[in-house]
Structures are given as C-alpha cells and as structure tokens.
Amino acid sequence: MTDYKFSTQIKRLSIALIIIGAVGIAFGFYSAPSNVEEAKEIVASMSHGDGHGDSHGGDHGAGHGDGHGEDYGDSHEGDHGAGHGEDYGDSHEGDHGAGHEYDHDKHVFNQLHNKPWAAIYVPALFFMMISLGVLAFYAIQRAAQAGWSIVLYRIMEGITSYLLPGCIFVIIILVFSALKFNHLFIWMDPEVVAHDEIIRNKVGYLNTPFFFARAIVYITGWVLYRNITRRLSLEQDNNNDISIHKKLFRFSAGFLVFFLISESMMSWDWIMSIDPHWFSTLFGWYVFAGMFVSGITTIALITIYLKSQNYLSFVNHSHIHDLGKFMFGVSVFWAYLWFSQFMLIWYSNIPEEVTYFITRIEDYNFLFFGMVVLNLIFPLIVLMNSDFKKTNFIVILTGIVIIIGHYIDVYNMIMPSAVGDMWSFGPGEIGGFLFFLGIFIYVVFKEISKAPILAKGDPYIDESKTYQYYNLD
Amino acid sequence: MSLKRLHVLFDDDDILLDAVKEIVKSKIYIHEVYTPFPVHGLDKAMKLKPTNISIATFIYGCIGFTVSILMINYIMIVDWPQDIGGKPSFSYIENMPSFVPIMFELTVFFAAHLMVITFYLRSKLWPFKEAENPDPSTTDDKFLIDMDSGSNLSKTKSMLKKMGAISIKEVKE
C-alpha cells in the first residue's frame, strides 16, 4: 500500500478541463444579448426548424402558454394571461395584455440573458450536491457503524473537501442574482414582487437577507461537520483511543438530523425558489435522492480509478459490489420519488402545480423522459445482475450514465424556469460542466493525496479490509 | 467389495465445513448434508451449482409486467374507453402514469409468488410431505453428512474420526 500522490496526469487533466470550461463559459456570456434588440436578433437568426426554437419564433399566442385552455400562472410568462378569467397574477414583466410585442421580447431577452448564468448555476449546484451527497453517505456509514466501508473513508473525505469551494461557487452565483446581474430568481426583483401577489405572500420566507442567512447556516453546519470529522479521522490514524470513534459516531448522528432539515430547506431555497409560483412537498427528498446516488456513484468511480492505479490493494470485489448495490438501490429510490412527484401532480392536474410539468413535457420532452432512461432503466437492467455489480468496467459504465443522467436532472430542475424553451447545449452549458468538473477533480484528488489512503486507526478497519460478501467468489 | 453409505454426525459447523472440504478433496461422493441452520460457504465447499432462481424470478417479473400491460390496455383503452374524471383514455401511453402502481405491483406479485412456488417444486416441499430426515437431532444442534464410504471403509472412518465426527453410522443403500 502506497499513499496516493497527486499525479501530474490528473493535475494536467483538471487544469485543461478548467481552461476549456472557462473558455466555454466566457463564450456563453459573450453570446448572450445585452439588450432587448440583440435578443430579437438572436431569436430571428435561430433556425425555425429546430424543435424548441420555433414555438417562440412566431406568434406567441400559439405558444405553449395558451394551449391548455386555462392559464396556469406559469412562472415568467408575462404576456399570456390576457383575456383569461383566472389569472394568477404573474404580471411581473410589466404591462399586461397591452404591449404584447414588447413584453414578449423582454421575456425572451430575460431568458437569453439568464442562459449563461443558468449554464454555470446547474453544474455548480450539481458538483456541490455530489459532495454533499457523499457527506451524507459518510455520516450514515459513521452513524451506522458500518463495517465494510472503512477502506473508502479517505476517498469520501476527499470528495467532501469540494463541499466548501462548491458552496462558495453557488453562493457567488446567488449573490450575483441578488445584485441583479441576472434574472434567475424573480422573487429577488422588488418590481416583480410588487406586482405579484403569490410571491408577495411568500416574502416572509423568500427575502434576500433571510435567504443568505439561511444559506450561511447550512454551509456552516455542513462544513463544520466535514472538517471536524476529517480532523478526528486523521487524529485516529495514530491513536487507538476508542473515544475518537465514539465522538465520530455522535457527531455523525447529530449531523444527520441537521442535514435532513438543512438539505430540504436548501432544495427549497436554491432550486425550488427559482420557480416561486410552484411548490412540492417531497421536493427535498427528491433532490436528496439525486445527490445521494450521484455521490455514491462518484465514490465508486474514484475508488475504481485509484484501484486501477494500484493504490487500493485492500479494496476488493465485495466493496465494489456493495457500492454497486447502493447505486442500484438509490437509483430506484430516486425514480420512485421522481414518479411519485410527477404522478401525483399529473393525476390531480391542479393548475397551480401542473405548470411545472407542462413546461417540462412540452419544451424539455426528450430530456425530461430521457433522464428516466439514464437514471432508472439503464442502472436497473445492468446492475441487477450480481456478477455485473462487481465488474469494474460495468460499474464505471453505469456510473458515467448515472452521472450524466443526474446532471440532466438538475438541468431539468433549473433550466425551464430560467430560460424556458430557449435552452440548448451550447458552449456555455458544456463549458460550465467541464469547468466545475475540472475544479472538482483537482480539489478531490489534491485532498486525497494529503492523507494516508487507509484510515488505519478505525476500530472496524480489519473487518473492512477482509470484508467479503459471502455470495461472491 | 460393496460400497456402503455413511451417516456422519458433527456438532460444530466449522468442523463440518472443514470435514466437507476434506471429503470432497478425497473424491468421496456426498449425497446430502443436513444442518439446523444455513452454514455460510457450505454450498461452495460441496461444489454445488449456484442457483438459477433469481433468473427465473426475473422472467416471472417480466411475465407479470406483460400481463399487467395487456390487461390494463384491454380493459381501459380497447374494450371500453370511458371518460373517467377526465383521464385521457385515448391511448395506453397517455394514461400510463395511473397504471404504473398496478404494473409495479403485478410485477412484484408474479415475481415473488412464482419464485416461491418454483422453490417449493424444485425442493419438493408441500403440506403433508413425509419428512426426509435421517436424524432428528439435525434440526436442533447437530450436523449430518450423508456420504459414500469410498473404496476403503476403515480408512474413511479413521479420517472422519480425526476430523471430529462424533458418530459414524453405516446405513443400507
């Protein structure tokens, strides 16, 4: 067993990703319109043949807003309410009914203006949530006093080291939103709130100072737990004192209580509030399942990579098999929550809730249902077989599919409210993903190289090293 | 020289496991091993073929899934596509979300029940079946190997004794 050295290969890869990503992001911002006139030009130059472009190009009256006979108060649609009996009061884009043309252009401008911001917000959230999911997994392993996963603790600790930078990236984007650099969170705009009774009724919760105060509380709690357990875990390496183990257990159990509350509220704040007219009660769980499965998948991918580099001689098929089982089980759990949320809203079809899925099904059809294939059907079929779960190649293949699928999941949560049907996978989106991927890889592998790769002081370490799932050869 | 059959009794599962490995190594056929509880690794030591029941279960699940789809499609879409509370009964896919709970449950139902029935059939278990137990103490705390004696009875016996057998009984074929 040798301790991991931060390889120049990984370093070069991550720096290359960061540079390519930064170029993509810069291009995204460069190509975004800076005023309404430019937005009109961009829309005019867009090919009307391609799926999502044309519903916007022509007569907006035939667009998706009016197709349903009822006005559902769809988030940013400033201009579609005219003439309807029940208007839910989303007049935030200005003059209602009259001045249609102007409203429509302003609306499209806002969407295009949001696009590069949303393109970095999605991967920033996604990678932050991976490391948060791993932190939750780590706390569960500690609190459950699991015997198999001790050999993976250092990898988990490495991944959670991205939590603080990841949260800082998210917070920076949120601060830019609050400073009106973009229009991602419409409730941050006092003009919108003044004309919108629904948001006005939520101002007690959705106001900027309280929003950032909450964010600081979550981040402090998570990072404190992460740093305390990391310090204790390192201390345990040279110390056979059982009291450290007990402390880790108590901190983890306490953290899980805090985590469940803070994670749920985080998902309302950072994700659900992007669409402040909509609400769902199981949203926090849904977001959690997504981050949990992508976190576990990341653990598996990094473990298999490090094992292939001969750093993890003590990790055997049974550990990979267990990670495969978690990937399988939590993928199904994610799909259960996805379906429960979708089906309950689809079934009852209450206008104020169903808009969320109408925009997704109409404008994001392929992505919205495609991600179910990636996140449920593919892992379900491939990882069902016990022999496949212990095969590195298959776990990696499924892992990459799951990671892409859950990136699309976050994309589906953010984009429809931010850019509507103006979405695409351009340089901005791909660059954003690569940029944060590069930072993630750099931070994680740097942290793994800082400590012995085996948490050797843990009382369960021998059990974990010799762990054998009895049914495997 | 006639082959004999032996019933060898052990009182510890670790000793049993070692003995089974030894017997398999000396190429003596084991008919059956009776234990009061599952002994991890016994099937591997006896070189038994892994079970295929999980594959059968998967197939049963697929059958249940198909049955549920055919049934719901016929009843709700083909036979009498009534408007019930505004649900779109025009095609299967349009009303699919409301069928998923039944599709799921029938898949699980078929997979679980047919798997259990397969297990009963394959292991020949049913009510009023005559118990095939050579020694009732194997349901309590003893372990029994039902084996051939091998070509040399006394050699086999002394080997078993050395391995910790508490009793060796010769039985008629």
pLDDT band at A67 (very low <50, low <70, confident <90, very high): very low
Residues of B in contact with A386 (CB under 8 A): 54
Query: In chain B, positions 113-172, which contact chain A (CB-CB < 8 Å)?
Result: none
In this prediction, residues A141-170 reach a mean pLDDT of: 95
In order of A183, A188, A189, A350, the CA distances from A202 in angstroms are 18, 12, 13, 20
- Tell me: the pLDDT tens digits for A348-359? 999 989 999 999
Residues A412-440 have a mean pLDDT of 93
Angle, alpha carbons A326-A263-A354 (nearest 5°): 90
Q: Is 60 exceeded by the pLDDT of residue A95? A: no
State which residue of chain A sits closest to B96, comparing Cα positions.
A343
Q: Average model confidence (pLDDT) for chain A?
A: 87
Question: B86 vs A347: CB contact, 8 Å cut-off?
Answer: no
**Using CB atoms within 10 A of its CB, is residue B156 exposed (0-12), middle (13-18) or buried (19+)?**
buried
> Which residues, at least 6 apart from B139, have a Cβ–Cβ distance to it below 8 Å?
B36, B133
B41 closest CB neighbour out of A339, A343, A470: A470
Architecture (CATH level 2) of domain B5-50+135-171: 2-Layer Sandwich (3.30)
Contacts of A238 (CB under 8 A, 6+ apart): A457
**Which residues on B lie below 8 Å from A381 (Cβ)?**
none
ipTM of the complex model: 0.91
- CA–CA gap between residue A262 and residue A57 (Å, rounded): 42
Q: What is the pLDDT of residue A54?
A: 40
Domain boundaries defined on chain B? 5-50+135-171, 53-122
Backbone angles phi, psi at B10, to 5 degrees: -125, 160
Which pLDDT score is estimated for A31? 87
With CA atoms as reference, the chain A residue closest to B99 would be A343
Residues of A in contact with B98 (CB under 8 A): 343, 347
Q: Is B52 on the interface with A (CB under 8 A)?
A: no
Cβ–Cβ under 8 Å, residues A12 and A20: no
Query: Three-class SS of residue A21?
Result: helix
Smallest CA-to-CA distance from A382 within A423, A324, A460, A453 is with: A324
Does B74 contact chain A (CB < 8 Å)?
no
Q: Rounded CA gap, A295 and A275, in Å?
A: 26
Which residue in chain B is spatially nearest to A473 when comparing CA positions?
B44
The pLDDT of residue A30 is above 80: yes
Report CB contact under 8 Å: B97, A349.
no
Let me know: does A270 contact A175? Beta carbons within 8 Å. no
Q: B98 vs A470: CB contact, 8 Å cut-off?
A: no
Range A232-258 average pLDDT: 93
As given in the structure block, the two tokens for residue B22 are: 């030894």
Over 90: is that where the pLDDT of A166 sits? yes
In whole angstroms, what is the distance from residue B32 CA to residue B46 CA? 9
List pLDDT tens digits, range A283-332.
999 999 999 999 999 999 999 999 999 999 999 999 999 999 999 999 99
Q: What is the pTM for the complete model shown?
A: 0.89
Q: Which of A423, A409, A449, A452 is nearest to A119 (CA)?
A: A423
Task: Please tell me the predicted confidence (pLDDT) of residue B2.
Answer: 59
pLDDT digits 0-9 by tens, B61-115: 999 999 999 999 999 999 999 999 999 999 999 999 999 999 999 999 999 999 9
Which residues on chain A are in Cβ contact (under 8 Å) with B41? 470
DSSP letter string, A264-328: HHHIIIIIGGGSTT---TTHHHHHHHHHHHHHHHHHHHHHHHHHHTT--TT--HHHHHHHHHHHH
Chain A segment 135-164 residues within 8 A of B by beta carbon are none
Tokens of A20: 């390519």
